[in-house]
Chain A
Amino acid sequence: MNELTLVDAVNQAIAHELASDPDVVVFGEDVGKNGGVFRATANLQDRFGENRVFDTPLAESMIAGLSIGMSTQGLKPVAEFQFLGFIYPAFNQIVNHAARMRNRTRGRLHCPIVFRAPFGGGIHAPEHHSESTEALFAHIPGLRVVIPSSPVRAYGLLLAAIRNPDPVIFLEPKRIYRLVKQDVPDNGEALPLDACFVLREGSDVTLVSWGAMMHETLQAANQLSEQGIQADVIDVATIKPLDIDTILNSVEKTGRCVIVHEAARSFGVGAEIAAQIGEKALFSLHAPVQRVTGFDITMPYFKLEKHYMPSVEKIIAAVNHTMEF
């Protein structure tokens, strides 16, 4: 058994790719000697050398722009942004270049980059450290957006992300970095980057979530089961490209859907999923699709953070609402 937390699984995946592909380089702020502020790159510099695992000066646009230059010339950067909240100086590079280099050059140049960033609330972090803005990236053509919710999926999805020839935004739900351990064999087997994962099967309602909220969603499903409501639970995992078929198949079976995400409600990934269900499975629905999400406000600083976060109770209430519809 190789029991790992999610953050350790991230570390193991990066190490695996460093060992197997000499073009992989790992960098960011404090990723070297310090091993990352969350220890995601712990010991990698010792194991693979300063040539391959290194600290950068403190500048995010630089991290993204460098990654683009490196990746077009044969390297495979795995770059860390210390927190998702600090990726924005790099937005220009990511959106205007990484995401469209392949298209602009009609395939001549491309950017096999993984941009990693811890994100999300619930750890009593300072201001700007807790937002969930995956939708910003999912909206951009040319990017992939991946969010693991368990150690096993963190490992398999990160391997796939590093091997993928296009830029991947790999967002790590830091609230669950150390929540559970799972057996994560270091077998180098990647998971698909275009598939949702069905975590639990049931015929009454479809629960769709990703990232840290998977845990509340699964807890809600367990409690609902005791009430006699059986839920299909889907971990979207790869936000983009969205595997809508898995979700549609489930909704066609259950006729009900509740989407749970920590990000603000409006214009989010949940809205996209609901829209596609409306477009493609309207007549299977017995009730309107519900969203249990953060509010359309700035992520509160931690004293009031819990009032922002979707809870098991809110998920159950939304499910009951769709059941009674």
Chain B
Amino acid sequence: MTTAAEFQIEYLQYLQADGKAKSDLPSFASDETLMVNLYKTMVQVRAYDTKAIALQRTGKMGTYASTLGQEALSAATGAAMQKDDVFAPYYRDYAAQIQRSVSMLEIYQYWGGDERGNCYQNNPHDFPMSVPIGSQCLHAAGAAFAFKYRKQNRVAVTTIGEGGTSEGDFYEALNVAGAWKLPVVFVVNNNQWAISVPRGSQTACETIAQKAIAAGFEGIQIDGNDIIACRKIIGDAIDKARRGDGPTLVEAITYRLCDHTTADDASRYREDNEVTNAQELEPIKRTRAYLTDVGFWNDEKEAALQVECKKNVDAVVEQYLNIEQQPLENLFDYHYAELPANLVEQRQEVIEGSL
């Protein structure tokens, strides 16, 4: 027998849990503005996220999926994209969305049960977060096809949890992206848990990254709590796609420090000490340690940032709680470009019924 093919999956980490560099850092790591902006996004998103849970707990928001512990990956994903690229996110990627000019208010509004949270006033092209798991991967592939077809120098990026990689849509998207060499990047947030199902029960693969191999393109695993690794590898993958060199799958190892959603109680199925251990690896502390080491950050700046983030969130909450109810005709008016005649009567019925 001879070897028909051989593959290897690389793992990349720059920053250790204590924020110390493990190896030579990419040049952007010494760009103070860039690094501080990433950090600020992460801290802002954490403040936003903590508040969302509080709003849900006090009956002012619906079921909410927290992003606690996954801020670095998400912030890096958003920051690595260009404005004209297209993002097809899953439901835990607020940091990326916010980087892409979706407002915190829109995200609150969305989880508050109001479709207008999907309007994205300052972002015309991105998809709304995908609820049916895995389906968004194909949308990204389709968007990438459109870019290629229209000879636009744009890239589609999609995100998914590791549980979602068990879905057919995920494999189908990888396959077609590989076969057609589409300008798309798949980012898997491997946060170890799909609600109560641990990563090890989801697949026998040693890595999720290797699933790209079967689709004929590169997969790479990174430390998803390492902002530098995330920004570097996702950025490289996007550059590669933009050059016409095809898709990449990035598997980022994170940990879901929160319950699955506010409707979940993770203590039913996972050990507290696992969570405690994971807290040691979480990304905000690590990024701050790095920034402090290289002299970009200090306690004073931190205190000011905390105040600023809280202020921003308070202002958004104030707006959120005072949003006017959606006009009832909205329930009908967005189903078709033109309202079919048979819906006119029902539309009237709803409006009259509320008077």
Contact A58 B166 (CB under 8 A): yes
Contact partner of B331 (CB less than 8 A), chosen from A32, A60, A86, A297, is: A297
Q: Which of A23-71 touch B at CB < 8 Å?
A: 29-30, 32-35, 37, 55, 57-62
Interfacial chain A residues near B166, Cβ < 8 Å: 57-59, 62
A195 CA / B36 CA spacing, docked (Å)? 67
> Closest residue to A54 on the B side, CB-wise?
B201
Q: Which of A56-114 touch B at CB < 8 Å?
A: 57-62, 85-86, 88-89
Interfacial chain A residues near B350, Cβ < 8 Å: 295, 307
* B16 close to chain A: CB less than 8 A: no
* A124 close to chain B: CB less than 8 A: yes
* A22 close to chain B: CB less than 8 A: no
* CB contact under 8 A between A302 and B163, given known A37-B264, A296-B343: no
> Closest residue to A300 on the B side, CB-wise?
B331
- Min CB distance A127 to B, Å, is 5
- Min CB distance B59 to A, Å, is 9
* B203 close to chain A: CB less than 8 A: yes
A-contact 0/1 string along B161-198, CB 8 Å cutoff: 00110111100000000000000000000000011110
A125 CA / B332 CA spacing, docked (Å)? 20
* B131 close to chain A: CB less than 8 A: yes
Contact B62 A126 (CB under 8 A): yes
Choose among A35, A55, A125 the residue with the greatest number of B CB atoms under 10 Å from its CB: A55
Q: Which of A260-306 touch B at CB < 8 Å?
A: 265-266, 295-298, 300-305
- Min CB distance A95 to B, Å, is 16
Interfacial chain A residues near B330, Cβ < 8 Å: 304
Contact partner of B63 (CB less than 8 A), chosen from A30, A32, A124, is: A124
Contact A89 B113 (CB under 8 A): no
> Closest residue to A266 on the B side, CB-wise?
B342
Interfacial chain B residues near A30, Cβ < 8 Å: 195-197
Choose among A58, A59, A60, A129 the residue with the greatest number of B CB atoms under 10 Å from its CB: A58
- Min CB distance A64 to B, Å, is 11
- A-B pairs under 8 A by CB, number: 111
- Min CB distance B262 to A, Å, is 11
Interfacial chain A residues near B132, Cβ < 8 Å: 85-86, 88-89, 128
Interfacial chain B residues near A301, Cβ < 8 Å: 113-115
> Closest residue to B354 on the A side, CB-wise?
A307
Contact partner of B131 (CB less than 8 A), chosen from A33, A128, A305, is: A128
Interfacial chain B residues near A33, Cβ < 8 Å: 196, 268-269
Interfacial chain B residues near A115, Cβ < 8 Å: none
Contact A58 B168 (CB under 8 A): no
Interfacial chain B residues near A62, Cβ < 8 Å: 166, 168
- Min CB distance B341 to A, Å, is 12
A-contact 0/1 string along B268-306, CB 8 Å cutoff: 110000000000000000000000000000000000000
Contact partner of A55 (CB less than 8 A), chosen from B114, B167, B197, is: B197
A139 CA / B60 CA spacing, docked (Å)? 39
Contact B197 A307 (CB under 8 A): no
* A155 close to chain B: CB less than 8 A: no
- Min CB distance A263 to B, Å, is 14
> Closest residue to A264 on the B side, CB-wise?
B346
A126 CA / B134 CA spacing, docked (Å)? 17
> Closest residue to B114 on the A side, CB-wise?
A303
A61 CA / B170 CA spacing, docked (Å)? 13
Q: Which of B308-355 touch A at CB < 8 Å?
A: 325-326, 328, 330-332, 335, 342-343, 346, 349-350, 353-354
* B34 close to chain A: CB less than 8 A: no
> Closest residue to A298 on the B side, CB-wise?
B335
* A308 close to chain B: CB less than 8 A: yes
Contact B62 A58 (CB under 8 A): no
A54 CA / B257 CA spacing, docked (Å)? 24
- Min CB distance B110 to A, Å, is 8
* B263 close to chain A: CB less than 8 A: yes
A168 CA / B62 CA spacing, docked (Å)? 32
Interfacial chain A residues near B346, Cβ < 8 Å: 265, 295-297
- Min CB distance B220 to A, Å, is 23
A301 CA / B61 CA spacing, docked (Å)? 12
* B258 close to chain A: CB less than 8 A: no
Interfacial chain B residues near A314, Cβ < 8 Å: 353
Contact A303 B326 (CB under 8 A): yes
A94 CA / B20 CA spacing, docked (Å)? 53
Interfacial chain A residues near B263, Cβ < 8 Å: 37
A265 CA / B197 CA spacing, docked (Å)? 38
* B103 close to chain A: CB less than 8 A: no
Interfacial chain A residues near B131, Cβ < 8 Å: 85, 126-129
- Min CB distance B336 to A, Å, is 11
Interfacial chain B residues near A308, Cβ < 8 Å: 331
Contact A59 B167 (CB under 8 A): yes
Contact B197 A29 (CB under 8 A): yes
What are the 4 A-B residue pairs with the smallest beta carbon separation, nearest first?
A34-B196, A302-B113, A57-B166, A303-B113
Given A57-B201, A127-B115, A266-B342; 13 other pairs, CB 8 A cutoff: A30-B195, A34-B195, A35-B268, A37-B264, A58-B133, A58-B164, A59-B167, A62-B168, A265-B346, A296-B343, A297-B331, A300-B331, A304-B331
Residues of B within 8 A of A (CB): 62-63, 91, 111-115, 131-134, 163-164, 166-169, 194-197, 201-203, 263-264, 268-269, 325-326, 328, 330-332, 335, 342-343, 346, 349-350, 353-354
Question: What are 6 A-B pairs at a CB distance below 8 A?
Answer: A29-B195, A89-B134, A129-B131, A265-B346, A304-B330, A304-B331
